[in-house]
């Protein structure tokens, strides 16, 4: 197998001289990293000629780092500009300091109260992740039921829709009354809010299977389980991953809303405390940590997506999302 792919890669390089040489030049070691930063975007380097065949050569660590840096510098620049503007406004006191603290003050709060903040962050993170995982599992099961059975479709869709349209903030107090001040109501809220996009994307994905592929499976004498495992589920993955990305960011919202209503720990609880004490630096630090949770989890789902569906059009080299 290895021989084969090497062989293919070799022939491909020969066929596509320019692209092949460039790829070969940046292959050894980490030499690709600085090269990729200043040079053309990697997506353009590997832009395939129409008759390209086989797999592109495996990206080296250096090339990967270059690609990573390439995808990172734009958001980093935006962030830097944002922080500069914030610092400018706060330091010049265009806005009173008790409303908008300087980045320095926020940083100081974060470092001095780090152990406390870390504990609360972990609590919220735990609620979010657990809520997200449960929502993903429940959502997938529901999506399969809806996609496979007309009866369940008619029975479940209204319930799913109802669970979605009911304002979560309105039922949060009820959940606290039912389940107390512990973690349970927060997790339930995170599940409720993250569930919907999983179901919708899962159903869309499962229903998008080419009927011809299902015909094919039928002529192979395959039962529903094999057809699901080998055809329908992998086919649904691109849709499903899109839904999971939405869901994971919503799960954070669910957990925090749950903490607003009644909690003794978690970032939502800290936010209310800081608000009550007019402690703007703490409030800002808290907001930053909340966003960080959302971003980190989102990126993790993106990585899972890249690993699970490298074959999908949205993930192919040459049509990469970083191409501006």
Partner 1 sequence: MTAAPAATGTAIGMSGLTVRFTTRRSQTTALDDVSLDIEPGEFVTIVGPSGCGKSTLLKIVAGLVKPTSGEVSLLERPVRGPQKEIGFVFQKAALLEWRGARANILLQAEMRGMDRARAARRADELIEMTGLTGFEKALPHELSGGMQQRVALCRALLHSPPVLLMDEPFGALDALTREQMNAELHRIWRETGTTVVLVTHSIAEAVFLGTRVVVMSPRPGRIIRTFPVELPAHRDYAQVMSDSRFDRLATDLRGLLGSAAANH
Contact residues toward partner 1 (CB under 8 A) are 1, 4-5, 7-8, 11, 51-55, 210, 212-213, 215-222, 226-227, 230-231, 234-235, 309, 311-313, 316
Least distance in Å: CB of 230 to partner 1? 6
Q: Which is nearer to partner 1, 134 or 317 (CB)?
A: 317
User: What are 190's two structure tokens?
Assistant: 């995170």
Shortest Å, Cβ 216 to partner 1: 5
For partner 1, the closer of residues 166 and 214 by Cβ is 214
d(CA 236, CA 209): 8
DSSP assignment string, 164-229: HHS-HHHHHHHHHHHH-SSSHHHHHHHHHHHHHHHHHHHHHHHHTS-HHHHHHHHHTT--HHHHII
Angle between helices 114-148 and 103-112 (to 10 degrees): 90
How near is the Cβ of 261 to partner 1 at its closest, in Å?
A: 44
Question: In a 3-state reduction of DSSP, which class is residue 313?
Answer: helix
Q: Where are the alpha helices (DSSP H) in the chain?
A: 2-15, 17-25, 32-38, 42-45, 61-91, 103-112, 114-148, 150-165, 168-179, 184-207, 211-219, 224-227, 233-261, 267-276, 280-308
Least CB distance to partner 1 at residue 231 (A): 7
Q: Which of 208, 194, 213 is nearest to 239 (CA)?
A: 208
Residue number, 222 or 287, with CB nearest to partner 1: 222
Q: How far is the CB of 189 from partner 1 (least distance, A)?
A: 35
| Rounded to 5°, angle at Cα 238 from 8 and 47 | 40
Contact 235, 208 (CB under 8 A): yes
Nearest approach in angstroms of CB 288 to partner 1 is: 39
Give whichever of 231 and 250 is closer to partner 1, judged by the CB atom. 231
Closer by beta carbon to partner 1, 81 or else 218? 218
Q: How far does Cα 177 stand from its chain's mean position?
A: 32
> Considering beta carbons, is residue 53 or 296 the nearer one to partner 1?
53
Query: Which one-letter DSSP state was computed for residue 231?
Result: I
Choose between 295 and 304: whose C-beta lies nearer to partner 1. 304
Find the shortest distance in angstroms from Cβ 319 to partner 1: 10
> What does R_g of the chain's alpha carbons equal in angstroms?
25
Q: Smallest distance from the beta carbon of 218 to partner 1, in angstroms?
A: 3
In sequence order, the 6+-apart residues with CB closer than 8 A to the CB of 233 are 206
Residue 109 or 227 having the CB closest to partner 1: 227
């Amino acid at each position: 197998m290895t021989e084969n792919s090497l062989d293919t890669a070799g022939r491909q390089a020969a066929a596509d001289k320019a692209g092949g040489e460039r790829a070969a030049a940046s292959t050894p070691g980490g030499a690709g990293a600085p090269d990729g930063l200043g040079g053309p975007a990697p997506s353009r380097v590997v832009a395939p000629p129409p008759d390209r065949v086989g797999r592109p050569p495996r990206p080296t660590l250096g090339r990967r780092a270059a690609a990573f840096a390439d995808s990172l510098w734009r958001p980093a620049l935006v962030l830097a500009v944002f922080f500069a503007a914030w610092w400018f406004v706060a330091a010049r006191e265009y806005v009173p300091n008790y409303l908008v603290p300087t980045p320095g003050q926020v940083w100081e709060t974060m470092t001095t109260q780090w152990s406390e903040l870390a504990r609360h962050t972990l609590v919220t993170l735990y609620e979010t992740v657990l809520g997200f995982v449960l929502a993903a599992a429940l959502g997938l099961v529901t999506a399969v039921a809806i996609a496979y059975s007309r009866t369940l479709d008619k029975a479940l869709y209204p319930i799913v829709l109802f669970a979605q349209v009911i304002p979560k903030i309105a039922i949060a107090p009820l959940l606290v009354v039912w389940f107390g001040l512990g973690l349970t109501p927060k997790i339930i809220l995170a599940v409720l809010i993250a569930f919907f996009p999983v179901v919708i994307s899962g159903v869309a994905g499962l229903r998008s299977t080419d009927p011809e592929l299902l015909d094919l499976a039928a002529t192979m004498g395959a039962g529903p389980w094999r057809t699901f495992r080998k055809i329908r589920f992998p086919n649904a993955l691109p849709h499903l991953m899109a839904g999971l990305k939405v869901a994971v960011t919503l799960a954070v919202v669910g957990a925090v809303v749950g903490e607003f209503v009644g909690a003794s720990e978690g970032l939502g609880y800290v936010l209310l405390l800081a608000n009550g004490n007019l402690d703007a630096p703490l409030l800002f630090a808290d907001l930053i940590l909340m966003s960080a949770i959302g971003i980190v989890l989102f990126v993790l789902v993106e990585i899972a997506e890249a690993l699970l569906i490298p074959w999908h059009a949205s993930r192919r080299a040459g049509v990469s999302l970083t191409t501006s």
